[in-house]
Amino acid sequence: MDTGEAKNKKPGMSLKEKAYDYLVNEILGGKLKPGDRISEAKLAKEFGISRTPVRAAMQELANGGILESRINCNTTVAQWNDEKILQLEIVRTDLENLAAKLAIIYGSNNDFREMHIHSEACYKASLNNDICTLLKEDVAFHMEIARIAKNDQIYKFMDEIHKQNRFLLCWRKDFLIPGDKQYRQHEEIIESFVARDENRVLRLLTHHNRHSFKVNDDMDYFTKEFFLRGVPLEEE
């Protein structure tokens, strides 16, 4: 493994942070795939550091559901089944809808227009087939909603969920929205925020966030009855 980049980036980072960033980049870059074993001792040797910061980095990733670590067993990149994916997307969708409601209250039009930066960066990355940048900018787009909501707890939980979502999308690329469609949806979401149209924002976000709902044929019903309960429907 080439750990040179992780060793040299951001000199102020701790050894644990460098090991964490290295593992995240290897996973999101597709070099480490679900089920692959990660050796704490081997990684520490290649970094030329003790196992303690490596262990701490791996534990943080395990706490976030990205690694699976069992007592007296190997640590591996997590493998998620449909139930786990669905649980993630249910929480993500409902939490982001809550953040959106608060963002409409606290956000300025300039706040919402800042989201164009990430929307355009996503589209550019899709044209270049740069999946890592696309996922990074898509997370930044959605985390802007959490930032504008001005609620530290929502921001914290959404940050954790989007880390997991990036992991999901890096190996389940069949969940990725085509670049032109994603760009159009992002722009429609921004326009609805600027217009302060809460019902439309919730409809657009719920539809946009349904990456994993294809795992169950009843998700159209579920979406309407759960996420959009009480929100007037508009014709497609």
Best-predicted range by mean pLDDT among 8-22, 71-85, 185-199, 214-228?
Answer: 185-199
Locate 185 and state its tokens.
């949806």
- Give Cβ neighbours of residue 104 (< 8 Å, ≥ 6 apart): 193, 196, 198, 201
pLDDT of res. 221:
46
Locate 230 and state its tokens.
């009480």
Q: What is the mean pLDDT of the chain?
A: 85
pLDDT of res. 26:
87
Strand 37-38 and strand 67-69: pairing?
unpaired
Element spanning 154, H or E: helix 152-171
Residue 236 confidence class, pLDDT cut points 50, 70, 90 = very low
pLDDT, one tens digit per residue, over 121-149 is 999 999 999 988 999 999 999 999 999 99
SS3 assignment, position 48: coil
Q: Is 48 left (phi over 0), alpha (psi -120 to 50) or beta?
A: left
153, 131, 154, 130: which is closest to 142 by C-alpha? 154
With beta carbons less than 8 A apart as the criterion, state whether 102 and 205 touch: no
Task: Give the burial string for 48-79 (b: 16+ CB within 10 Å, else e).
Answer: ebeeebbbbbbbbbbeebbbbbeeeeebbbbe
Locate 47 and state its tokens.
């970094």
pLDDT at 214 over 60: no
pLDDT, one tens digit per residue, over 6-26 is 444 455 788 899 899 889 888
With beta carbons less than 8 A apart as the criterion, state whether 14 and 33 touch: no
CA separation for the pair 89, 98 (Å, rounded): 14
CA separation for the pair 124, 128 (Å, rounded): 6
- Three-class SS string for 31-50? CCCCCCEECHHHHHHHHCCC
Q: Is the pTM of this model over 0.95?
A: no
Residue 171 confidence class, pLDDT cut points 50, 70, 90 = confident
| C-alpha of 208 from chain center | 13
80, 183, 166: which is closest to 131 by C-alpha? 166
Looking at the chain, the whole-number percentage of residues with pLDDT higher than 70 is 83
CA separation for the pair 119, 159 (Å, rounded): 18
